[in-house]
Amino acid sequence: MDDHTILASEDNFGNVSVCPGGVVHVNLMHVSLKFLPQDFVRLCDLVAKAKQNLDTPRTPGGKPRLHLVPSETEDDKTPDPAP
């Protein structure tokens, strides 16, 4: 890896480098991935889209929540005595 050019590095996380043959190497902890330059660009676009979706607030899906509203009771229906 001495002949690789480091493109980016993050301490205790990983790095991205390119070898003389043009292959982009992504090294993260215990995972190493190799990409052709155009595929690496596609990966970057994919990750950027994922980050954007992660950052946007999500509305909870599924069924609407039930809200209970107190109803009138029989006592509320009786008119006030005349003065």
The per-residue pLDDT for range 14-55, each reduced to its tens digit, is: 999 999 999 999 999 999 999 999 999 999 999 999 999 988
Range of the domain at 11: 5-55
What total number of domains does the chain contain? 1
Asked if residue 13 belongs to a domain, the reply is yes
- Looking at residue 51, what is its pLDDT? 93
Asked if residue 70 belongs to a domain, the reply is no
Q: What is the largest CA-CA distance in the chain?
A: 100
Asked if residue 60 belongs to a domain, the reply is no
Residue type, 4: H
Q: Binning pLDDT at 50, 70 and 90, where does residue 72 land? A: confident
Asked if residue 75 belongs to a domain, the reply is no
Asked if residue 81 belongs to a domain, the reply is no
CA dist 60 and 58 (Å) reads 6
pTM over 0.75: no
Asked if residue 46 belongs to a domain, the reply is yes
Asked if residue 80 belongs to a domain, the reply is no
